[in-house]
Structure 1
Amino acid sequence: MSNRVKVMGVVNVTPDSFSDGGRFLAPDAALAHARMLIAQGADILDIGAESTRPGSDPVSTHDEIARAVPLIAAIREESAIPISIDTMKPDVARAAVAAGANIWNDVTALSHSPDALSVAAELGCEVMLMHMQGAPRTMQAQPHYDDVVAQVNAYLASRAQAAIAAGVAREKIWLDPGIGFGKRLEHNLALLANLESLVGLGFPVLLGVSRKSFIAMLDPAASATQRLPGSLAAALAGVQAGVAAVRVHDVAQTVQALRVWDAIKTAR
C-alpha cells in the first residue's frame, strides 16, 4: 500500500440511502456514476445495495445481490479499479467477489452472521471492519459509552484478532471507527480528535465522514448535499492522524483537497 491516502468513492444502488438514495438505483445511472468517480480520481469504489442510514430497514439477500452484482460485473469489464462490496451478509460478499469485487466492507465487523469470519477467510479478499453500536434501524436511539475512544479501539482490535484467528491474513484487515453509527455528536468528535490511537493499532484505517449528520449538528442549516466543507475538514483531520483511506461521495473535491494537502507537506 502506498503512503498516499486513498479515496474510496461511494456508489449506492439503494432507494433510501441518506444523501443520494434512489439517484443511482437504475443500472445505467449507477454505472455512469461509477465511471465518473473513476474519472475524478477514485482509488476504490464502494458498492452498497442496502442502506445503513439510521432507521433503515433490512434488505433481503436476493435483492441486495440483484442490485450490486450486475454493477460490479459491469465495472470490472471496463476497469481494474479495486471494488468494495458494502454488506453485512456473507452470501452477498461471496457473490460480489465472484463478480469481481476485491474488498468486503462490513459495518458489523464480520459479526452479523455466524459464518462471516470463515467466509472472509475463504474469500481471501481484503476486509474492512467497522464499529457500530446496535443495528442501523435503532443505533441512534440512545447510544452510550463510558469511554468511546477506548471502547471502539478495543472492539476493533478484538474483531481484527478474531478475523486473524479465523484465517484472514493480517495484512488484509482494515479498521473503521464507524463515525455516525450508534454515536452522538460528542462521540464522533472524540473519535475524530483521537484517531491516532486507532491508527496506532497497526492496521490501515478507513474513515467515513462524508456528508454525515454530525456536520449538520454543527451547522443545522446544511442539508446532506451542503456538507462538503465539513466533510473535507473532518477528512483532513483524519489524514493528519494517519488514516489510509477516506470514504467519500464527492471524489473530485476530495482528490483536490488531498493534492493541495500533499503539496504543502512536501514543501516543508
Structure 2
Amino acid sequence: MNFEAIKAIYYYEMARTRRTLLQSVISPVMSTALYFIVFGAAVGPRMQEIEGVSYGGFITPGLIMLTLITQCISNGSSGIYFPKFTGTIYEILSAPVAMAEILIGYVGAAATKGMMIGLIILATAAFFVDLRIDHPLMMFFFMLLTSITFSMAGFIIGIWAKNFEQLSMVPMLVVPPLTFLGGTFYSVSVLPPFWQTVSHFNPVLYLVSGFRWSFFEVSDVHPLISLGMIGLFLAICLGFLTFVFRTGYKLRP
C-alpha cells in the first residue's frame, strides 16, 4: 500500500476545501441553520411532540443526514470529475499508484469533509433546539458509514458524468426529494398504510431512521435493519468500483 500517494491525494483535496471555505463549509452550515431557526425555534414550540421528542429535536437528525449525504456526494463527485475535466487524471493514472489508493485518497477526503460539516451542524443545532444523544458511539458510526458510502457514490457519479449538468443532477434533483420523503420532517407512522409501504422502498428512510434512533431511541425502522441497508449500499458501490478499476470505465480512453 502506497501511503505517500494516499496522503498526497488526501491533502490536496483537503487543501481545496480550505481554498473554497465559503462554498464548502460555511454555505451548507448556514443553509441548515435556517431550518433550525424556522422549524426548531419558531415553528417547533407550536408543534406537538413526536413520540416524546420535541419537533425541533426530531427533525435535527434528518437535516444533518440531508446535508451529510448531499455534501459527500458533491465532494466525492467533484474530486474525481475535475481531474477528468482538466486532463490531470492521466498523470495520476500513469503514476505508480493503484486504483485502490486513488479511491482511498479521494473518498477519504470527501468523507472527512462530510463528517466535519455534519459535526459543525450538530453543534449549531444545540443553540436552537433541545437535543440529547442517547448513543453517541452509534451516532458517530452512522455518520462515518454514511459519509464513506455516499462519498463512494459521489466518486461513481464523478466518473460517470460527462458534463457539469450530469455532475449536479443527483445531488440537486434526486437526493433532496428522497430525503424529504424519507421521514426527515415527520414519522412515516402517520402516513396511510399504502404510503408507509411505499416509504419503505426509499433507501434514505433507513439512514434517517437509524441516525434518529442514536439520538432519541425513536425510529421507524429497527436500527440493525438501517445498518444492514447502509452496508448493502456500500457493497453495491464497492462492486461497481471494482468493475471500474478492472475495466478503466470512463477513466482510460
TM-score per shorter chain, which class?
Answer: under 0.3
TM-score, normalisation: structure 1:
0.24
Structure with greater contact order relative to length (CA < 8 Å, sep ≥ 6)? 2
More helix by share: 2
Larger radius of gyration: 2
